[in-house]
Structure 1
Amino acid sequence: MGSENEANPEINVTPPEEKGFPLTKEFLELAFDREVEKFSVNVGTNPGDNYMSILHAIKVTFKGEKESNHYLIKCYPNNQGRRDFLDQTNIFSKEFFIYQEFIPQLKQLAIESGAQNIADLSVAPVHGGNIVGTLSSKFTMKPWSDENFILMTDIRTIGFTMADRIKGLDLEHTKLVLEEIAKFHALSWAYKQKNGLSLLSDKYPQFADKMYDNDDMMKDFKDLVDHLRTNAVTMVEEKLGETHPASKSFKDFVSGDYMGYMKLFVKKDGIDEEHVESHLRIKPDADKDYDYEPWLVGTHGDCWVNNILFLYNDEVPKKPVKVTIVDWQVNREACPTIDLVYFLFCSVRTSIKIPHLDDLLKVYHDAFLRYCNALEVSPLKGFSFETLKRRFRRAQHFGILVSMPLLSIVLKSVEESFDIDTVQSDDMGELFRSMMTGSDKNALVKHELSETVLDMYKNGVI
């Protein structure tokens, strides 16, 4: 290592080279094309904050400079099951594509449209990387040719921080995130319009879903799905009562083809609106003029509280003034409501989400229209507040299904935080099930899930 390879004494660190990644002075000089005076390496995340990758925090002082620079390097894990999962889903290369290729084009599009005010899509600056077998880079020489990694600025050192995942986001934080989601959606939609694309995935296969569309991989999760289904139904019945009509409706809803139904929401050519609406307990009023054409934009795909960092002002109490969404590994072309339900169901507590839902959707709706206008493109076909609410309502089916596993992770106490690197098994279903151990005894998970189910029943969604 370099001349300053000391670790934080309060954290037990295994140096990256002992985990397989040759992080050396030579690597950093190659990455930045500058001479390194000294550097140190530490863990990049706390246990329970990151699941599919390994993060290392790097502090570098370049020759001739007094101030240190801070970076994160995101690497493949050592666990073979997790490595195979990353290969099968292409999620590592998808993220690198977003950072290196797609977002720079969106920023350029905004500038050319005279919309400099929305060119500041907030992402962490990336300084390079290597994706084995797909990209040619200066890192394709040994000893880094067999390593997958992304090297980026550690924006936490300039004030960005993660919110309290257990407490959830308040209205102010939630609205700020919805504005940023709307910005990315509008920029990706404008990109399609200005480049004459029917589908982003026609030009960029990275936007096609590789997770739910992998039938062989999904079979590996059958036991996990059965476990989730049983746990969720038990918690709802214990909270609401086994004979409560909401409990019965929820049990009927999750007893079907869980994964097959979720796939309907991430199809390459969009959601079959009429078919999905047929699954609602109370169907929308008949409207012969309603346009069922799918909405399709570039989405983040994994927008939950651990993938969101906030910057605050210096006032007391502090207020969030900027948000950065990270971890673009599950990006896909999909209906914008998929990002909305994923975010609201997994990161915002029911005490905020349920009574303020219309106000929150209005924030997104108005922001999307405002950004489309600035980018000089028409909005999605038939885009109105009423249609957004209608499509969000049917998307709640996806929201409750995806939140069943995620809430058990989001709401796990700090004391019970799960370190995925301690699991030796290569079976991904077993690994994810280990992450969710104890969720059926978590009173907060039970409360949030039951309140969501009750609200969905009252609104005829289930």
Structure 2
Amino acid sequence: MNYNEREIKAWLESCFKNLTQIVVTLVGHSEKGDGYMGDIFFVHIHGKNGGTTESYDLAVKSSKDSDILREFSPMKVFFNNEKYFYESVFPNFVQFQTNRGLKNPFKGVPKCYGTLSGVKDVLVFENLTKSGYCLWDRKKPMTRDHVELVILDYAKFHAVSVALKDQEPQNFEKLVKHYDIFNDLGRDNKNPMLETLQNAVEEMHDLLQNDLDQLVLQKWRNLKNSIQTFFREMLSYEGFKVITHGDCWNNNFLFFYDENDNPIKVSIIDWQISRLASPILDLSHFIFSCTSENDLDDLTKILEHYHKCFTSFLTQLGSSDSLYPRNQFFDDWANLSKFGIMFSSIVMKVCTAEKEEAPDLAKPPENGQFTAFQFEVANKKLLKQRMRAIVSCAAKNKLI
């Protein structure tokens, strides 16, 4: 990762126009295995604002320093999508909640100080780690307290979409009119990501060959043949939709703890593939990426917790709790949770890999194929353990 102090200083001067004599100090950066589609620099800055000195701890996210990558990967589309979330979507959500005087609104995203477009695309955020937030260890499933905290925030976030559409339909339609990252990327069935998913499903089938019943394994393997159809139907889906997060794996949640080490707040990061879609996509992606075997055995209670939090927050926002009935929610889960189940075959490789094994997720396709996920995980025992629980849960609940 290249660090150009002059370049970063220029970015920050554009974001903090009220500061002069800015001094920038690099305090860290993202590492291979963190799973971010860009470079992240952690910096401390201070400067003069009139007669006073101001200082900030920041996370500066920029597109990769690679001409080849910028040419062959859709990085600008991803960055533009995240900029739109911070410049338009989230401010609208904040205003909508403020107008209704909520005591505990959804606010679980880092503060964004500014965005820049050019040869490189840049977003500047508060550095949450300096406020005591930290990542959960990606190699371990989250505890139930962590899971329920994330579920609560997703329920609140999704409910804001529904209430906004219900009460201010014209504002909502204007907000989401062009908010479709997959449309911007193209809707080609030859998308190399689909082939990557098919290969990952097959790889997990082979890995679990001696660990699960053959009937269960055959159900899992059948997913491979349904991926193209599922994604085609998902892209044309016209059912119950909200603005989603889209990238719901471990490293996109930072937690804040009380004095007894209980998680009490979560901040959700990386909104590059946020879009209008079914809330089940977020929910299934998160559950099958982050929960333990014990909690997967308690899947129905977790889903009930989400729906209860969703309807409760919806009524606080002033809309009817009947806008997404329980039966419809569980029907949608039965039909669409394959999304998270499929992606678990990729996510679990990243979660169980050592740093030196982990892929560069921004690596461009080679010969039309994503090669970033073609790597070996040394800790096969851990990978088997995580995937066995997921496949078993999916089969037991008739989701595959």
Q: 1:413 to 1:219 in 2, by over 3 A?
A: same
Contact 1:201 1:208 in 2 (8 A): no
Q: 1:40 to 1:425 in 2, by over 3 A?
A: farther
Q: 2:26 — aligned with what? A: 41
Q: CA deviation at 1:71?
A: 0.8
In the TM superposition, what are the counterparts of 1:295-374 in structure 2 within 5 Å?
295-315=240-260, 318-352=261-295, 354-374=296-316
Q: 2:209 — aligned with what? A: 237
Matched residues in 2 for 1:266 and 1:451: separation?
28
Q: Are positions 1:193 and 2:166 aligned together? A: yes
Contact 1:296 1:335 in 2 (8 A): yes
Q: 1:141 — aligned with what? A: none
Q: Indicate the larger mover: 374-383 or 154-163.
A: 374-383
Q: CA deviation at 1:152?
A: 1.4
Q: 1:380 to 1:416 in 2, by over 3 A?
A: farther
In the TM superposition, what are the counterparts of 1:15-414 in structure 2 within 5 Å?
15-16=3-4, 22-24=7-9, 26-33=10-17, 34-63=19-48, 68-80=55-67, 82-84=69-71, 87=74, 90-118=77-105, 120-131=106-117, 145-197=118-170, 200=173, 203-207=176-180, 209-210=182-183, 213-215=186-188, 218-221=190-193, 224-241=196-213, 244-254=214-224, 256-267=225-236, 269-270=237-238, 294-315=239-260, 318-352=261-295, 354-379=296-321, 381-384=323-326, 386-414=327-355
- SS of 1:238's equivalent in the other structure is coil
Contact 1:311 1:321 in 2 (8 A): yes
Q: 1:213 to 1:400 in 2, by over 3 A?
A: farther
Q: 1:425 to 1:184 in 2, by over 3 A?
A: closer
Q: Structure 1: which 5+ runs fail to align?
A: 1-12, 132-144, 271-293
Letter in 2 for 1:356: D
Matched residues in 2 for 1:222 and 1:109: separation?
37
Query: CA-to-partner distance for each residue in 1:117-158, whole Å, 9 max, x for gaps?
Result: 21x512111111123xxxxxxxxxxxxx43311111111111
Letter in 2 for 1:261: F
Matched residues in 2 for 1:338 and 1:238: separation?
30
Matched residues in 2 for 1:109 and 1:198: separation?
10
Q: 1:440 to 1:230 in 2, by over 3 A?
A: farther
Q: Are positions 1:433 and 2:378 aligned together? A: no
Q: Structure 2: which 5+ runs fail to align?
A: none
Matched residues in 1 for 2:76 and 2:20: separation?
37
Matched residues in 1 for 2:194 and 2:162: separation?
35
Q: Are positions 1:451 and 2:389 aligned together? A: yes
4+ aligned runs moved over 6 Å, structure 1: none
- SS of 1:210's equivalent in the other structure is helix
Letter in 2 for 1:410: C
Identity of aligned residues (%): 22
Matched residues in 2 for 1:323 and 1:207: separation?
26
Q: 1:10 — aligned with what? A: none
Q: 1:299 to 1:237 in 2, by over 3 A?
A: same
Q: CA deviation at 1:305?
A: 1.0
Which of 2, 19, 22 matches 1:14?
A: 2
Q: CA deviation at 1:39?
A: 1.6
Contact 2:201 2:342 in 1 (8 A): no
Q: CA deviation at 1:419?
A: 5.1
Matched residues in 2 for 1:37 and 1:250: separation?
56
Q: 1:380 to 1:96 in 2, by over 3 A?
A: farther
Contact 1:29 1:36 in 2 (8 A): no
Letter in 2 for 1:123: V
Query: CA-to-partner distance for each residue in 1:431-450, whole Å, 9 max, x for gaps?
Result: 3234xx11486222222222
- SS of 1:14's equivalent in the other structure is coil
Q: TM-score normalised to the size of structure 2?
A: 0.89
Query: CA-to-partner distance for each residue in 1:170-198, whole Å, 9 max, x for gaps?
Result: 10000000010011101111111222259
- SS of 2:287's equivalent in the other structure is helix
Contact 1:168 1:347 in 2 (8 A): yes
Q: Indicate the larger mover: 446-455 or 148-157.
A: 446-455
Q: 1:428 to 1:360 in 2, by over 3 A?
A: farther
Matched residues in 2 for 1:380 and 1:213: separation?
35
- SS of 2:64's equivalent in the other structure is coil
Contact 1:201 1:333 in 2 (8 A): no
Contact 1:39 1:58 in 2 (8 A): yes
Q: CA deviation at 1:237?
A: 1.8
Q: 1:161 to 1:440 in 2, by over 3 A?
A: closer
Q: 1:238 to 1:95 in 2, by over 3 A?
A: same
- SS of 1:453's equivalent in the other structure is helix
Larger Rg: 1 or 2? 1
Across the aligned residues of Structure 1 and Structure 2, the Cα RMSD in angstroms comes to 2.8
Q: 1:159 to 1:88 in 2, by over 3 A?
A: closer
Q: 1:395 to 1:124 in 2, by over 3 A?
A: same
Matched residues in 2 for 1:342 and 1:85: separation?
27
